Amino acid sequence: MLRHSPTTRQARPALILTLALMLAALLSSCGPSDPVDLLRPAPELSIDAPERGPYGVALLERDVRVRVDQQVRTLIYLPTGLNAADEAHPLALLIQGGAVSPEQYGWLAMHLASRGYVVLSPDHPLDFAIFATGNGADVITALRDASARKGDVLEGRLAPEPGLALGHSLGGVVASKAWLRRPDDLSHLFLLQSTPDPADAELLQNPRDPADRVLAVAGERDGRISFREIDESLADFSNPVPLAIVQGANHFQMIDSPTASQLESDLAATIPTPQARARVLAALDLLVFDHLGLSPRDPSPLDAPELWPEGLIAP
């Protein structure tokens, strides 16, 4: 006569506890109680003011669970002030360059948040986005879920419409992959001193909605990637992509606290870093205003270099 082993029944509570802990970990991947740091108060400016937008900026750092066994540390820059907490905002996915941390692009993220974007800046292994090209898309999915979760800090904060992808240097290569593969999440792409992946050339030739715009920006004094190389790579896109060259700017003016070896690998800039960044942000705003529907579409300022701000020229 067979008898049931008592250990099976005794093991059930432990199994249930284990499953409960796994579920709790999954549900806590985007907890509602993450600390939020106010980085910049809201100024009294219009949404299209040239220097920055009307929102203040807060920073939320979160370990975003993208799979049961994996989390991705993500910096989330939130618009504040006005009615920001009661509004759904477009998302912007910001991918860092190679051997550079997400924190080194705070100036860029804060500008976008001041324009009303929720900026997602995920970590990547060893600060090389190419080692985990899916992190950005995974974080978007997880944080869209968080935006739909009652009681989360992000509840109701992410608009469902496609947002903006951007990346610097190697980060632009990875940002272009996310833009290419997630058209429902990302309609606009900003390539900062970067190119798309040549391996994606065939996919990039697939038809894309003409309203989904791409803007590339090069540094006139960039010692890591020339504007000519960037210009040639843009032929891979199915729709024409304008290239704006920032006069006087080099490569590593785009990051905070560059190392001595990084600076040695670059050309000397002929304008100071604040001016170089201001010109980059002016170029970015051309794309932002198109994305937000604040600029004319026919013709678009993106396609009219004679209308570009001072310091930006076409090849």
pTM (2 decimals)?
Answer: 0.88
CATH number given to 35-313: 3.40.50.1820
DSSP states of the chain as a string? -----HHHHHHHHHHHHHHHHHHHHHHGGG-TT--EEEEEPPPS--TT-SS--S-EEEEEEEEEEEETTEEEEEEEEEEESTTGGGS-B-EEEEE--TT--GGGGHHHHHHHHHTT-EEEEE--GGG-GGGGTTHHHHHHHHHHHHHTSTT-TTTTTB-SS-EEEEEETHHHHHHHHHHHH-TTTEEEEEEES----GGGHHHHTS---TTS-EEEEEETT-SSS-HHHHHHHGGGSSS---EEEETT--SGGGSSS--HHHHHTSPPPSS-HHHHHHHHHHHHHHHHHHHTT-S-STT-GGG-GGGSPTTEE--
Q: What is the Cα 9 distance to its own chain's centre?
A: 50
Show me where the domains of the chain are located: 35-313
pLDDT in tens, the chain (315 residues): 334 344 444 444 444 444 343 334 434 444 445 767 888 888 878 888 888 999 999 999 999 999 888 999 999 999 999 788 889 999 999 999 999 999 999 999 999 999 999 999 999 998 888 888 899 999 999 999 999 999 999 999 999 999 999 999 999 999 999 999 999 999 999 999 999 999 999 999 999 999 999 999 999 999 999 999 999 999 999 999 999 999 999 999 999 999 999 999 999 999 999 999 999 999 999 999 999 999 998 889 999 999 999 999 999
